[in-house]
Structure 1
């Protein structure tokens, strides 16, 4: 998994286990997370549908797992044979485009604290359950969070400490528990509105 440069290299990949971040990469190595995916998620569909590579991107494992990968030609053949799958995939791509627009808005407009909250909520969405709290096992490091949301590691540490003090998170070395998802969502929404 990694950067793609030609349509022949584009593969449709279905995540069976584990969690991955799909990131855009700059020539200097800077990266921005486009989306996070877990079991049942997939990537490579944009390149296949557009019949060209979407640019320099990589799938980075947060928790490595098993994936099923198909070549561009094989997946295109499946889409031709199963029109309903193509239709559902196009719907998903349109939905993902809206999420990318939201992500661009977050990076351009939101405060560093709200960007951090948005990223934590995105990671929480990968976990099953509908309760008011969620534990992020194998949580990203402060450095990783900082690079994903465009702030310094020190700012991430400062905001996480503030969230702990407010009782909104409980954190240890590689785990973060978001204790009040509705309140965290409301904090981000309040900044947007």
Structure 2
């Protein structure tokens, strides 16, 4: 379920009136590690990537947020008054509805659809994290790169991706040189086409 599937008109009206719609350009950090969560971000358009970063600057992609989705980590941290364990970065220009934490907690009791929305988000992100851990532990670099490229293709609804080798390396937590080497092999296998700052899935 995503926000757009919530049918209760009264609840949709309350969500709209309780939130502050803001626009963010690509690259904006809307939530940082160790910061307190003061709102629940609900993506209305564009996309957001959620990553985990280390002190040395390395990061690894955990999952993407598409329109109609929210960040379950933000919800859990906000409702428990804990600091964030993840960083959320706008992937493509986005409109985000900032929802009140107080209201979000009230809705868990008042609207069953909100509880369903939160639990389904939790389930989906848990599956994403299991897939990511399995990928790191058991899959080769080519499989991980192709999986990430297909994720981006679904997110952008396009086979042509404007992405650099360095961006892929940052999101996968491996070196740019390794990414470039593997991409060249994948191209030789006929699965992608490489051009400057662009990768096309075939």
Q: State the TM bucket, normalised to the shorter chain.
A: 0.7 to 0.9
Runs of at least 4 residues of structure 1 off by over 4 A?
A: none
Structure 1 residue 144 displacement after superposition? 1.7
Q: TM-score, normalised by structure 1?
A: 0.77
1:57-76 deviation digits (Å, cap 9, x = unpaired)? 21122212211111322322
Work out whether 1:80 is the aligned partner of 2:103: no
**1:21 equivalent among 46, 49, 55:** 49
Instruction: Tell me by how many angstroms 1:79 deviates.
Output: 2.9
- Secondary structure of the residue aligned to 2:120 is helix
Specify which structure has the higher proportion of strand. 2
After the TM superposition, which residues 121-136 of structure 1 pair with which residues of structure 2 at under 5 Å, given as runs?
121-128=150-157, 134-136=158-160
Instruction: Return the alpha-carbon distance in structure 1 between the equivalents of residues 78 and 49 of structure 2.
Output: 19
Structure 1 residue ranges without an equivalent (≥5): 129-133, 180-193
- Who is 2:187 aligned against? 164
Match of 1:37?
Answer: 65
**Aligned-partner Cα distance in 1 for 2:76–2:196:** 36
Rounded to whole Å, the distance in 1 between the matches of 2:87 and 2:185 is: 32
Paired residues, number: 171
CA distance in 1 between partners of 2:192 and 2:58 (Å): 28
After TM superposition, the structure 1 = structure 2 runs for residues 13-162 of structure 1, keeping only pairs within 5 Å, are: 13-43=41-71, 44-48=74-78, 50-55=80-85, 57-128=86-157, 134-139=158-163, 141-162=164-185
- Uncovered stretches (5+) of structure 2, i.e. residues with no partner: 1-29
